[in-house]
Amino acid sequence: MTIRAFFRAVQVDTAQPPYNTIHLKITYPAKMSGGELERNWGTVPVDSQQAPFPVVIFFSGVNCSLEIYQWLAVKLAERGLVVVTFNWVAENIPGIVSLTPGVDLTSWTPETYGTRPSTSALPALLAELEQLQAQGILAGMLNLQQIILGGHSAGGRVAIESANPQFFPQVVAAFAYGVHTMGGVNMGYKPGTILPLPDLTPLLLMGGTCDGVIAHSSHRYGITSTDATTSVVRTFSEAITGGRNDNYLVVIEGSNHFSIAEPFDSTTGQAFLDFPATQPENKIRDVMAEVIGLFIDAHVRQKAEASQSLEQLLEDNNPMIHLFERK
């Protein structure tokens, strides 16, 4: 299968210049045609065989460029999905300019949490998808009633908190890696507070046993634990009620905070906090991509065989799976 991508730029109405522009990369299944547009400009037509395509919008970690998640975008596009990744340079914290997933910090206060989305990027991204559906090579090829939110680290938190059909009716599922929902003590929360999630759509929550960034950031939440998984496990246990059997917790053996990144970029972010991975990184990423893909196939595309394959992958004494729970 041929996978191609193209770029777009959108403006965020709630942001101030020069920090109001998001640059998108849209990755899609393509089919070489030999046409003039393809030869002259590299614009390859979409492979319409699996259209209309559900769309994954992926939120990067802070100071993590979209390029380090391109491997995952390609893997998901190979399964017949369109994937949106993006870079947004902004000043979310006064005086600190960074690549951001678009966190609305005011939505994380005790007074406002859960009353509005924690993402300031998503409305602009959804509006651009409407434009892509109307014209261009993806026109009429998108299933805009099947939007999946995904993300890593802070971007993962934004994704799972924003998977609320009451705010965005077209969002039908979410997944995240290296994330939890503890409330920061600097925001006014008591130490160790786990904040609730919408619990209205299927959710895949993933972590790694060697996540040093989570372990070394515990002081932000008023706790002293240097454990890599407790906050993730507690989020699954306490932030959602479940009961539909479409919520998953998957902890990958030997995976660290940046195992999801390829190529790894040590010049930005907080890689210096991480523990070394104890499993081959390519095997970790293969497991991540397979779990995410099967989760989407099972709970968005409603493929019965995908649900069975996912259960087998997670339950069949897989040495890559440290912990699996479902509710």
Q: Give the three-state DSSP class for 327.
A: coil
Please write the tens of the pLDDT for every residue from 49-80.
989 999 999 999 999 999 999 999 999 999 99
- Could you state, in order of their start, the residue ranges of all structural domains in the chain? 2-326
Please write the tens of the pLDDT for every residue from 117-133.
999 999 999 999 999 99
* Amino acid at the residue 102: G
Q: Give the three-state DSSP class for 82.
A: strand
- Contact present, 269 and 100 (Cβ < 8 Å): no
pLDDT at 8: 98
Q: What share of the chain is helix, strand, coil (3-state, %, to 5)?
A: 30, 25, 40
The answer, yes or no, to whether residue 315 has pLDDT greater than 90, is no
Please write the tens of the pLDDT for every residue from 236-286.
999 999 999 999 999 999 999 999 999 988 898 888 999 999 999 999 999
The mean pLDDT value for 145-164 works out to: 97
Mean per-residue pLDDT over the chain, rounded: 95
Can you tell me the distance from the alpha carbon of 320 to that of 323, in angstroms, rounded to the nearest whole number? 9
pLDDT at 268: 87
Measure CA of the first residue to CA of the last residue in the chain; give whole Å: 35
- Contact present, 207 and 214 (Cβ < 8 Å): yes
The mean pLDDT value for 206-228 works out to: 92
Q: Provide the pairing of β-strand 142-152 with 53-59.
A: parallel
Fold of the domain built from segment(s) 2-326? Rossmann fold (3.40.50)
Please write the tens of the pLDDT for every residue from 183-208.
999 999 999 999 999 999 999 999 99
